[in-house]
Every structure is written in C-alpha cells, then in structure tokens.
Amino acid sequence: MAEKTNFLPLMLDLSDRKIVIFGGGSVGERKAELFCGCADTIVVSLDFSERLKELEASGQICLSRLDLEATEDSKLREIISGAFLVIPATSSSDLNRKIADIAGESDILINQVDTLGNVVIPSVIKRGDLVIGISTLGHSPAVSKYTRKQIESVITPAYSDMIRLQDELRSYLKQHVAEQRQRKTILWKILESEAVWNGFSESYEKAAEIAYAIISGYLENFDR
C-alpha cells in the first residue's frame, strides 16, 4: 500500500526567495534551470557542469565552489541560513541526508532527490501563462514523463494565445456587457469555437477578429 501523504499542489511566488542546491551534476543542473528564472538560486559543489557555468555567466544563478564532503556542519548551516528551499542533489546519499537533516533543524523546506522530502517538484509544462505540474509523488518518474508528453501533444502553443485573448476579451466585455453570466457565456462560446482556435494558426490578430465577430453577433441578438 502506498504511503499516506498530505501533498497539495500550489503555485508559489518565489521572488527574492533563496533556493540552495547542493550538487553540480545533471540533477543539480536540472533543478537550477527550473528555479533560476523565478528565485535567487545558489548551487554549491566542488565541480559544476558546463550548463551551470553558462547560467552563472549569464547572471541567472550563483555558483559556490566547496568540497562538501570535507565541509563542517557549521559551514553548511551558514550556507543554508535564510533559504526558502534546500535541494540536496549530490551523488552521495549520506551527504544528501546530512544536508536534509541540517535544513530540517531550521524547518526549511526540502526537496530530496533520492527519497520523498516535504516538497515534491513536479514535471512542468508551460504555455505562456498556462502552467501544468505533474507528479506521482516520487513513485514513478517514468509515468510523470509519459503523462507530460501526452499532455504536451494536446496543449499546443495556441493555448498561450487563447489565454491572452480571453484576458483581452474579459476587459472588453466588462465595458459592454453588464451581466457577469452573459460575459461568461460569450467567453465560453469563444473558447469552444473551432474557428477561433484555427485562427491562431494564421495569427493572433486573425483569431481575435473572429472572436470579436462572435461578440458582435451575440450583442446584436441580445439587443433585438
């Protein structure tokens, strides 16, 4: 039987939050690429992948060169201090466990790569402002990856354009349609319109033209 968990998916604002990743290999690289665009990301290791060096050169992350195996606990506590999230991603399970224990002393959130910590980082799909997270809570990374690929085949880049269009239309409708129920009905008609979705393949402007035509037709019928 699977272990009972109380995980809840959330979207967090990580602006100015400190994320500390221990390990400069492929796992640390993957975690750094995920967080570097939205948080102050520090990677601590003796050696770093070429991609991590590129991220540092572009100012997206900070690298801290340190022999973690020889580092005293007091130094690890100093590095971890003030962190929002700690990710032990070294090649040593014992070292990862020690880092997690030290972070746990200060009730810092921990994402563990070789066991289930108190933060699970999902497989992420981004289409503009549409963000989808997929997780099996560590039970099957293969299923997470498979699910992501299945969803990516359905959630095309046009979804990003639809979000932009819906946001634009919501503002327009608030000025022209008083009742919220009617605005909702119109937005759903546009969302379900195959013509609008097909319009995005030509241009955003074409899809918007079709959408505004739907609105005009609805308002004309409403006024009669």
- Could you report the per-residue pLDDT of 196-219, keeping only the tens digit for each? 999 999 999 999 999 999 999 888
Q: How does pLDDT run across 88-102, given as a tens digit for each residue?
A: 999 999 999 999 999
From CA 73, how far away is CA 103, in angstroms rounded? 11
Radius of gyration of the chain (CA): 23
Residues 6+ apart with CB under 8 A from 137: 5, 7, 116, 120
pTM above 0.85, yes or no: no
pLDDT band at 224 (very low <50, low <70, confident <90, very high): low
- Beta strands (DSSP E) in the chain are 18-22, 40-45, 62-65, 85-88, 109-110, 123-127, 130-134
Say which amino acid occupies 149.
Answer: K
Q: How does pLDDT run across 96-152, given as a tens digit for each residue?
A: 999 999 999 999 999 998 888 899 999 899 999 999 999 998 888 899 999 999 999
